[in-house]
Each structure stands twice: as C-alpha cells, then as structure tokens.
Amino acid sequence: ESALTQSPGTLSLSPGERATLSCTTSQPVSSNFLAWYQQKPGQSPRLLIYAGYSRAIGVPDRFSGSGSGTDFTLTISRLEPEDFAMYYCQQHETFGPGTQVDIK
C-alpha cells in the first residue's frame, strides 16, 4: 500500500496570502484517486477536491487542486478567515497526516 506524506506539517499565514499544501505518495497514483478535505475542530471533514482537481459542489474557486504521479498540490489563492483549518489529502482509501493552516 502506498504511503502518504503531507508538507508542511503546519503553515502559518495571514489572511489574503496564498497557501500551497503538498501531498506526496510513495508510488505513482492516478489523480482520479486523489482527494482533499478540510476539517475544523469539532466538525466532520468536508470534501474540497476530488479526482485530483475537480471542486466539490459549493467549494469556492479560490481552492484548486493540481499534480500528477506522486506529487499533488492544494492551493488556496487568497486565504479567508474561514480557511484556517486542518487539511487532509486522500489517496485511494488512505488519508495523509494533514497540514494545519494557522493564522500568523
């Protein structure tokens, strides 16, 4: 089974800044099996991106997914106050360790 890593572990940014979150798989994976989630404390995860780059219904267009092979990226073009949260990538059924986006 392919292992997943996410970097950085914590990202400290200010509102309005651009956030770039990385997800790396140990073996190449089709982007069809790559998804990104946002989770806030005490809440259920929320699907942001599926099949590598498709935005889920209701997700603002400041969120975008890209990448291929073993390296995938979630980009938040301009951070809004509600975007400070934990972000997980998922490859097939495996979830990564997450990146915490904190307010600087």
Partner 1 sequence: QVQIVQSGPEVKKPGASVRISCLASGYNSITYAIHWVRQAPGQRPEWMGWINTANGNTKYSQKFQGRVAITRDTSTRTVYLELMSLTSEDTAVYYCGGTRCSGGTCSSGVPYTWVDPWGQGSRVTVSS
Which spans of this chain sit near partner 1 (rule: CB under 8 A)? 33, 35, 37, 44-47, 50-51, 56, 88, 90, 92-98
Q: Select 13 or 45, whichever has its Cβ closest to partner 1.
A: 45
Sort strands 86-91 and 34-39 into parallel, antiparallel or unpaired.
antiparallel
Q: Select 34 or 79, whichever has its Cβ closest to partner 1.
A: 34
DSSP state of 81: G
Q: Rounded to the nearest whole angstrom, what is the least distance from the CB of residue 102 to partner 1 in the complex?
A: 16
Q: Rounded to the nearest whole angstrom, what is the least distance from the CB of residue 68 to partner 1 in the complex?
A: 17
DSSP class per residue in 65-79: EEEETTEEEEEESS-
Q: Select 67 or 98, whichever has its Cβ closest to partner 1.
A: 98
CA distance 52 to 21: 13
